[in-house]
Structure 1
Amino acid sequence: MSPTAKVDSDELRRLKDVNMDEAPARRHVRDSLKETQLNLDHILFKTPGNGIKTKESYEVNSRGVEIFSKSWLPEATRPRALVCFCHGYGDTCTFFFEGIARRLALSGYGVFAMDYPGFGLSEGLHGYIPSFDLLVEDVIEHYSNIKESPEFSSLPSFLFGQSMGGAVSLKIHFKQPNAWTGAVLVAPMCKIADDMVPPPVLKQILIGLANVLPKHKLVPQKDLAEASFRDLRKRKMTPYNVICYSDKPRLRTAVEMLHTTQEIEQQLEKVCLPILILHGKADRVTDLSVSRELYQKAKSSDKKIVVYKDAYHSLLEGEPDEMILRVLSDIISWLDDHSLQVEDGS
C-alpha cells in the first residue's frame, strides 16, 4: 500500500490547517486518521496486534490536567517487566510508537505511554512547555501510579526515552535515583545540535522575549523530518502524524528545552542506573558527542552505547527497514538481559 493510499494530499492539508491549539481538535483529527495511519506501508505498522491487550485512557492528574495514555500488555502471560515511554518534542505516543510498543509487548513486556501536557491528545496549549520540571513531575506521577498498582509493583521497570524523551527520562532519574531498573535512551536530547540552535545574538534576544511573549511562535526551526528521517519513502509518511506539533517552537518551550539540556550536560556524572544509549552517527538534531560524554561520565557500572553508522536522528522510524529491526533487536536484547538479572536476583 502506498503512503497516500487512503487519504489524498488535499485532505491531509485540510487537516493540517485545523487549529489544533487545544486538545479537542487534536483528538478529532486523530480519530479521522487513526485507521489510515495504522495501514501505512511502514515496517512498524506491520507488527501484528494479535495477542496484545491495548487500552487508551484519559485521566485528570493532580494538577487538574487531563492526560491521554495508552498501554500494550501481553494477553496470555504476565509481563516480565514494565517499559515506560517518554516521547520526543512535538510528538505523541499514538503514531509510530504503536508499532514499537507492539514489538515490545510481543516480546513479553508491559508497555505504557502518555502524551505530555500540550502534546498529542493530552490537554494543554499545543507545543507549549511553561516548565520542563512540571512536565517531568506529571510524567513521574503518571508512571508512579502504574508502578505502584498491585499487579505491577513487583516487576522490574524501565524508562524508554526518545530524543527530548531522553532528557525527560534523565530528569526523572535525577528526581528518583533508585526507582528504576534501567533506562533505554534513543538519540537522547542531552544537547541540541549546534546547527539546530539559533545564532548566539538571536538566541539571547529570543530568551529575553520569552519572558514577555512566552506562547508566541517566533523561534526559527529547520525541517525536522528532513533532518531526522534518512529513508525518503518513510519521510513522506511524516505528514500523517497530523497531531505532531510541527510549527515554529514557542518561545518559552524553546528556552525550557535549552535550559534543560544545559542542566543535564552539567550533571552527567549523577547518572547511576543501568543505561543503554543508542545514537545515529549522522544525527543532526541531538548531539552525539554528548551521548558519548554521558557514557563516559555516568557513574553507572552497567552502561552501554551503540552508535549506528550513517543513521540519522529517528532510529526507530526513519531508517531503512534493516536498521530499524537492528535497533529494535538491540533494545529488546538489552531489556531481556536486564529483566533476567532482576529475576535471578543478580
Structure 2
Amino acid sequence: MKRLPGVDNELQKKLDAKMDEVPARRQAREAFKDIQLGIDHILFKTPCDGLEMKESYEVNSKGIEIFWKSWLPKESKPKAAVFFCHGYGDTCTFFFEGIARKLASCGYGVFAMDYPGFGLSEGLHGYITSFDQLVDDVIEQYSKIKENPEFKSLPCFLFGESMGGAVALKTHFKQPKAWNGAILCAPMCKISEKMVPPKLVVKMLIAMSNVLPKNKMVPTNDIGDAAFKDPKKREQTHYNVISYKDKPRLRTAVELLKTTEEIEQKLEEVTLPLFILHGEADTVTDPSVSKALYEKASSSDKKLELYKDAQHALIEGESDETITQILGDIISWLDEHSLKHNIETS
C-alpha cells in the first residue's frame, strides 16, 4: 500500500495488511475514518450538524453480514429516500459520505450499503461470483429499509455510480414498478474499449475463470488515473483505504463484461424516470452508451446531461466548480420529482 502523508508506522501496518477478508478492512477503516473526513476535498465541507447518521451491520438471508449506513435530516420528514449503489473501486464510506451529507442537508433520506466482498461487508474482497446474486442482495437490503413505517410512504430513488449504474438498472429490471426514478452517474452500460483486453485475451480469461475464478489475473489500465481529472483529488483516492485496488479477479471481470452485454441489449426495457449524467471525456465507461440509453429507454420522463471535458469520477474527481454544478443538477432533479410524486399522491 502506498505510504500516505501524516500516517505513522502503526497505521501503515493496518494499511499493509492483506484485506481479502473483512476483519482487516474493518480495522483499517476504523483507524482511518477521522483522517478520511479531514482531507481537503469539497465533498467533506458540508456541515452535518442537522443530520442523523447511523451505521449498521445486518446478516442477510444468505448468512452474509452486510454493512449499511443512513443519513437523515433531524428536524424534518425526508422529502424522499435515495438508495445508493456504489462503483467497483468504491465503498459507501468514503467520497459518498460527503455526497450523502449534501443530499441529506437538502432534505433527503439517504441509504447506502457495501456489496458482499466490498468495503465493510463480508466476503472475499472484490469478488463477484454472480452479478445477479449481487443485485438480489441489494434488493433484499433496500426492500427491508423501504418497509420501515418511517419511510414507507416516501418516493424512492435509485442512485448508481459507474458499476452501481448497472446495479441500479438490473434492480429496476427485477423490480420494474418498485422505484420512482433513477439517477445514473457515468453508468456501466458498456466498459470503454480502452479498458477491455483484446478479444482473444477475453476468450482465454472466460475459460480460465471456470478453473481459477478468484485469481487476480485480468490485465487493466489504471482506473484511478483515467477516472480523476483533478490530480490532487486523484491522490486523495489513496485515503479510501478499503476500496478494491488490485487487478480484477477472473470471475468478477467475466461477470462485469456479461452484465454490460446484457444491459446493452435491454435498454428499451428501462421504463422509470431517468436522469443520466456522463463526462464526455470518460474513458472508463462509454458515454456513447449513455446516449443510447437515453434514446432507447421507454421512459416518458428522461434527461441526459453530458459534461464537456469531464472524466469518469464526475462527483469526486472534477474541479470544485464542476462538482458543485453536478450536485446542484442532481438535487434539482430530485426536488422536481419528489414534489411531483407528493402532489400526485396527496
Q: Which amino acid aligns with 1:7?
A: V
Instruction: Please name the residue that 1:165 is paired with.
Output: 164
Code of the residue aligned with 1:63 in structure 2: it is K
What is residue 211 of structure 1 aligned with on the other side?
210
Taking the aligned partners of 2:98 and 2:208, their CA distance within structure 1 comes to 40
After superposition, what is the alpha-carbon deviation per residue over 1:124-164, rounded to whole angstroms, capped at 9, x for unaligned? 00000000000000000001011111111111000000000
1:274-313 counterparts in 2 under 5 A?
274-313=273-312
Pairing 1:7–2:7 present: yes
* Aligned: 1:330 with 2:342: no
In structure 1, how many angstroms separate the alpha carbons of the residues matched to 2:14 and 2:216?
Answer: 20
Once the two structures are TM-superposed, the CA of residue 171 in structure 1 deviates from its matched residue by: 0.1
The corresponding residue for 2:200 is: 201
Confirm or deny that 1:251 pairs with 2:250: yes
Which runs of 5 or more structure 1 residues have no equivalent in the other structure?
none
Asked if 1 retains the 8 angstrom alpha-carbon contact of 2:56 and 2:68, the reply is yes
Structure 1 residues 10-19 or 134-143, which shifts more?
10-19
Q: Which residue of 1 aligns with 2:25?
A: 26
Q: What TM-score, normalized by structure 1, do the two folds share?
A: 0.97
**What SS does the aligned partner of 1:237 have?**
helix
Q: Tell whether the 8 Å contact from 1:89 to 1:164 is kept in structure 2 after alignment.
A: yes
Question: How many Å separate the matches in 2 of 1:13 and 1:225?
Answer: 21
Aligned mates of 2:233, 2:130 — CA distance in 1: 33
Identify which range, 91-100 or 10-19, moves more after superposition: 10-19
Structure 2 SS opposite 1:236: helix
- Secondary structure (helix, strand or coil) at the match of 1:180 reads coil
How far residue 17 of structure 1 moved from its aligned partner, in angstroms, is 2.2
Give the CA deviation at 1:7: 2.4
The answer for the alignment partner of 2:263 in structure 1 is 264
In structure 2, how many angstroms separate the alpha carbons of the residues matched to 1:14 and 1:192? 35
Residues 65 and 323 from structure 1, CA distance in 2 versus in 1: closer, same or farther, beyond 3 angstroms? Answer: same
User: How far apart are the structure 2 equivalents of 1:92 and 1:325?
Assistant: 21
Tell me, in whole angstroms, the C-alpha distance in 2 between the residues paired with 1:102 and 1:242.
20
- Identity of matched residues, %: 66
Alignment of 1:1-346 (within 5 A): 6-7=6-7, 14-345=13-344
The whole-number CA distance in structure 1 between the counterparts of 2:5 and 2:231 is 17
For residue 189 of structure 1, what is the amino acid of its counterpart?
Answer: M
The answer (yes or no) to whether the contact 2:315–2:326 under 8 Å persists in 1 is yes
1:337 partner amino acid: E
Contact 1:89/1:165 (8 A) holds in 2: yes
The alpha carbon displacement at 1:201 in A equals 0.6
**8 Å Cα contact 2:190-2:260 kept in structure 1:** yes
Check conservation: 2:14, 2:24, Cα contact below 8 A. Answer: no
How many Å separate the matches in 2 of 1:202 and 1:124? 27
